[in-house]
Amino acid sequence: MTGRLDDSNTRLPDSAEYEPDVDAKPSLLESRALRYTAMALGGLLLLSIVQAISGTSELTSPGTWAAAVRLAIPIMLAGLGGLFSERAGVVNIGLEGMMIAGTWFGAWAGWSFGPWYGVLFGLLGGALFGLIHAVATVTFAVDHIVSGVAINILAAGAMRFLSVTVYDAESGGGATQSPKIKSPIGTFDVPLLSDAFNWLEDQAIFFISDVSGVLAGFTTRMSWLTLVTLLIVPFTWWVLWRTAWGLRLRSCGENPYAAESLGVSVLKMKYYGVVISGALAGLGGAYLVVVQAGIYREGMTAGRGFIGLASLIFGNWYPFGVAAGAAVFGYADALSLRQATAVHALLLVAAIGLGALTAWSISKKQKTAAIVQGVAAAFFLVWYLATDTVPTQIVAALPYLVTLLVLALATQRLRMPAADGLRYRKGEAV
């Protein structure tokens, strides 16, 4: 059995019977891994060139990339949450509200019991709101967008109510914030690799030192929770693309009535997808508390749930693509906090990158795309040459501007699940 839904069998295989298609050339993992590796190396080469031209040192520094990892993780987790939900056919724009729930429950449990309890309760808090979204959309067939908006509003109001109810002045919390958690989650340096990469970064060798600086950011003072969350990406790929359970879930997002005819419990799978979605978003909220801030503050998610949804679209509904999108947004956020001149250098990065895209579009005879990209490249190049700095307002808004820019350029060849967002009633043929 190769995982196709249109064969002569009347049911999908049990996980013990399921075998991946070994005849794929190349395999999904290999092709996408090669593609993202090539893109990453190309991006690092571009950063190295721009860094040499502009004179800044922050584009590939270990500090910038360590911050980028910490800032990208919550976005990545929200995006992976959206992946489970939308692969099951349920649009989830309530990721922001589920993250908010994760921050509050993570902070409360972290203050009451310790940081790892904060991680657990944050996950459960997000899962609870995921369950609410599942009941509304799957059982009662409420419009997915309406339910998601309601989740965002409900979560913000419910967390304010809980803060007023639970915290008093003596606890150190209040209506808009919690007390500090008991302790942060510990960090570690990867043996041998951390020292080696930091040494190479200090040698100032073009490109090699830049790559080493990036890798040093990943291997130095990494939180244990960061390691766990990074492992979720390949685990998600394996679950969704290499198990029978994942095949059933994805079939519900492509053609739920065909899946139903093959014996899949579509309603149950949709519930699984949406609850897991909420749990991952809640874990992202808990990460903000137990790794980054050490405290819950109202509004601390700052739209990361929506940016996670953007990373899902940028990643074309694949886990490694989601991680890549989150890395881009996290990097922009980290750079805006490090050095204003580095943000100015990003104008040159954008100009060169858009110029390369223009050449690609011309080679593919995509005239409209080439014109738009060429005009944008010229705009960023003129902006870079005409100024020495960028306004502080642009620096503060950089992560959100990058989100809009990337989404505007990532609309080619996107394919969402065919039945994503459509109403499903058991036994009701389309």
DSSP code at position 184 = P
Q: Which long-range contacts (CB under 8 A, 24 or more apart) does 48-56 make?
A: 48/206, 48/207, 48/210, 49/352, 50/345, 50/348, 50/349, 50/352, 51/210, 51/345, 52/206, 53/348, 54/341, 54/344, 54/345, 54/348, 56/339, 56/341, 56/342, 56/344, 56/345
pLDDT over 90 (residue 338): no
Tens-digit pLDDT profile for residues 353-389: 889 989 988 998 888 888 988 998 999 999 999 998 8
Q: What is the pLDDT of residue 37?
A: 80
pLDDT over 90 (residue 84): yes
Q: What is the pLDDT of residue 19?
A: 43
DSSP string covering 317-345:
T-HHHHHHHHHHHHHHHHHHHH-HHHHHH
User: Is domain 60-338 classified as CATH 1.10.3470?
Assistant: yes
Tens-digit pLDDT profile for residues 1-21: 334 444 334 444 443 344 444
Is-contact 409 357, C-beta < 8 A?
Answer: yes
Q: What is the pLDDT of residue 284?
A: 97
The residues that bridge with 113 in the sheet, in sequence order, are none
Q: What is the pLDDT of residue 411?
A: 59
Q: Is the dihedral of CA 167, 173, 174, 175 positive or negative?
A: negative
The pTM (predicted TM-score) of the whole model is 0.89
Q: What is the pLDDT of residue 83?
A: 97
| Of 163, 183, 166, 174, nearest in space to 117 by CA | 183
- Tracing tokens 């110029």 back to the chain, one arrives at 355
Give the confidence band of 429 by pLDDT, cuts at 50, 70, 90. Answer: low
For residue 242, give both structure tokens: 């290499």
Domain positions in the chain: 29-56+340-413, 60-338
